[in-house]
Structure 1
């Protein structure tokens, strides 16, 4: 599966690693049941990229379900995420490396199998998200390519003959859902093809009474054929995950893979975010130390607002809280010179000599100006959600119910959040969807800026990084500020 020293690893059908020769797979269609493991060599970097980009999409699918989005809304958001992180173009697309796209899709699926096979809960969530992704792709696929995919597999359905259809005519017609106009419905029914499958393969259609049952068989109209395919996909992935789980202990000896898989399995907790960077040094010239307090009240997510308030109250922050908040401000656009001014003013109870000796070096170090001169990124929601001291964790996860509700009202009441909004937010918290709760708070507190429920930080995307939250909030505020300035000048 990846290159490491002289060995080249891949995954066999059970999901366990073994050494192989160079291989190459063709992908005739975009739709894939992922029957065969990828048989090609990759680097650790490609391993991580393929998995993380796919996990971004699956995490957003689960977030959409938690936010009760309609099917059409979910499709819109999922397609937008796929276009950004995991594009799959049709065979007729020009100027696209179709093989490379499908290879990445194939690879990412199998890597996430390894990450999410290790518990019943992870398997259940992975199967649900993957099946939803398959449904979105199936509905949006080109008809000819979808037919090519269906013809490439044996779905073990039996076409219903004309004689059988005639025999059960009345029963089939009564269960047929179509136009409310009887003449149109009957005409569509007469032209409809039917397939027989064991009723256990279409439980959703049985539940909705959309099929006729006879002798243990379900008579499925062609328009409902997709239900057979979706159920087949779900069962196929479930069996594959169970096999992979039994084989996973073989990977324990590989110290390179297990940490990556451990991190990936946490991906549903807060979505997946790339290292957030400040595009082209935006705000670098305009963000000053004296502006931070006001910005925190208007634009900071609750985790950073909590750190800021603690700093203002105590004139001090513990090391990890200081590191987390300092990197957040750095990426927000605060220069190192202004950062030194900000922290010196905030640490007002100590002398200049103590500040210069114990804190100034660390500030410059976080900007890559001391030590190994690394450009440290700000922490993402996933990193912040990792259990730790309450002064630098995620309030939605680490606060008690009572404290969280009080903190939400005291922090955001001036931005339009009321007690009537709390039940919806707390329901997401209790379900473990912490980043969804934060996203909903963003929507509520920015409704006056035109943000509607379900839009998230834009395009339906959920909050996955504190800087993402703050940057979007500041961006939404700019048009109004500029408009007000124009009115004053006039």
Structure 2
């Protein structure tokens, strides 16, 4: 068991208006949380990790959406769907919210430990968490918002009616009323507050506040900007404090590997798992002779490249065979068909050599030899962080020139054009390799009805080669059925 957050924030008090004790159980007063205080309850190492991974899925999808320049409404819809799927948090009145809020609280703090280690990780974490908080804030009922705001001191000063009258002309000139209301009538009812202008740089940039002697006069309907800015500032300070104290965790050998894995997941910009990666495939009737056709139509670039290398060289190195073999296994290739596929692929060697040197490894990957483990296929995180370059992500390992050539060679028949390359390459240059892969998926499946921004479905990005292939095969099957009905 591990008492999470206790060491790295020992200086903080246990009293907080966000948490109150009720008959020995933690009760959260509001779904909205500035995470001022650590979760002081016992958790297992397994819960420590799984709770953080679920939250990482949400933050990774937020970062992916930001990289793709989605509109705020699109980003909000995707973020809401993601957090309700992985870290459900009802922001309206909810009778049994304790467990939801507990998981939210714990997951945030575990990721703090993972992402406080470098300036880049802290910056990305703050940006993603701020979007998540903003989406939840906008989804929360007005009365619950007021309760939350009243529970904190945001240090804004209410503007009196006399001061409002004094600067009437200036305030009215910058005031933007709701579209459904008359501007003059809305201005009369509007309540203003003032803060130092450095606390609302976004409103200053957009010229939505009146500035006077270093003060920014903020309309009530824009006060959320102060709240969001305060959230970012407090989180940045907390991460810096945690980074100074994180070395104290080095003594715990159980947690460091978990934190390392989480931080790598964020470096890759993707979620750490695909839900069905180790499960059974939806297409269990794949035969060896079908793989060539499937590779040309449905495989992501990493696996399609391996398949082409296999066909060209009649061989793959050990790690390539392992990675590609597990991919085909999860895709639905049975052990009998796998042996037939690899035997045909290695057609330049004798049966005896194949049986002695390769057949055992194939059976081992299916859990039929050795310790008989059910090995899952590698996800995008594992591929992105692989050491051997021959099994890495091509979006990361290829030079820009080679990557563009390979993309056109592989996917031009599926609709990829030279005019699509600048957009793809810009995401690669920014290090968002999964976004580039997702965009290629959208372009090559436009004929199946996939629109830009839809990803593999619901706006989600590619996080696993089998996820890409399974969704592609599903879309291909649906299109074939639709064409047959016409």
Distance 2:116 2:195 in 1: 29
Q: Is the 8 A contact 1:415 1:446 kept in 2?
A: yes
Q: Is the 8 A contact 1:15 1:248 kept in 2?
A: no
Runs ≥4 in structure 1, deviation > 6 angstroms?
A: none
Q: Is the 8 A contact 1:213 1:219 kept in 2?
A: yes
Q: Is the 8 A contact 2:278 2:375 kept in 1?
A: no
CA 1:440–1:358: 2 relative to 1, 3 Å: same
Q: Secondary structure of the equivalent of 2:227?
A: helix
Q: Shift in Å at residue 83 of structure 1?
A: 1.3
**Alignment correspondent of 1:406:** 405
Q: Is the 8 A contact 2:57 2:270 kept in 1?
A: yes
Distance 1:387 1:111 in 2: 25
Q: Any residues of structure 2 matched to 1:179-218 within 5 Å, and which?
A: 184-218=182-216
**Alignment correspondent of 2:369:** 370
Matched, 1:162 2:161: yes
Q: Is the 8 A contact 1:9 1:17 kept in 2?
A: no
Show CA shifts across 1:398-419 (max 9, x none). 0111110110000000100011
**Alignment correspondent of 1:175:** 174
CA 1:192–1:14: 2 relative to 1, 3 Å: farther
Instruction: Tell me the number of residue pairs that the alignment of Structure 1 and Structure 2 aligns.
Output: 475
**Alignment correspondent of 1:441:** 440
Q: Any residues of structure 2 matched to 1:7-156 within 5 Å, and which?
A: 8-12=2-6, 14-15=8-9, 24-90=25-91, 92-93=93-94, 97-156=96-155
Distance 1:169 1:486 in 2: 67
Residue of 198, 216, 227 corresponding to 2:225: 227
Q: Is the 8 A contact 1:328 1:378 kept in 2?
A: yes
CA 1:413–1:17: 2 relative to 1, 3 Å: farther
Distance 1:244 1:26 in 2: 25
Q: Shift in Å at residue 26 of structure 1?
A: 2.0
Q: Any residues of structure 2 matched to 1:412-451 within 5 Å, and which?
A: 412-451=411-450
Q: Secondary structure of the equivalent of 2:233?
A: helix
Q: Shift in Å at residue 354 of structure 1?
A: 1.2
**Unaligned residue ranges in structure 2 (runs of 5+):** 15-20
Distance 1:300 1:353 in 2: 31
Q: Is the 8 A contact 1:61 1:129 kept in 2?
A: yes
Q: Shift in Å at residue 331 of structure 1?
A: 0.4
Q: Shift in Å at residue 278 of structure 1?
A: 7.1
CA RMSD of aligned residues (A): 2.0
Q: Shift in Å at residue 457 of structure 1?
A: 0.3
Matched, 1:314 2:319: no
Q: Is the 8 A contact 1:396 1:429 kept in 2?
A: yes
Q: Secondary structure of the equivalent of 1:11?
A: coil
Q: Secondary structure of the equivalent of 2:450?
A: coil
Q: Shift in Å at residue 59 of structure 1?
A: 0.7
Q: Is the 8 A contact 1:115 1:261 kept in 2?
A: yes
Q: Secondary structure of the equivalent of 1:80?
A: helix
Distance 1:123 1:278 in 2: 32
**Alignment correspondent of 1:237:** 235
TM-score (normalizing by structure 1): 0.93
Q: Shift in Å at residue 14 of structure 1?
A: 4.2
Q: Shift in Å at residue 91 of structure 1?
A: 5.4
Q: Secondary structure of the equivalent of 1:266?
A: helix
Distance 1:360 1:185 in 2: 77
Q: Secondary structure of the equivalent of 1:25?
A: strand
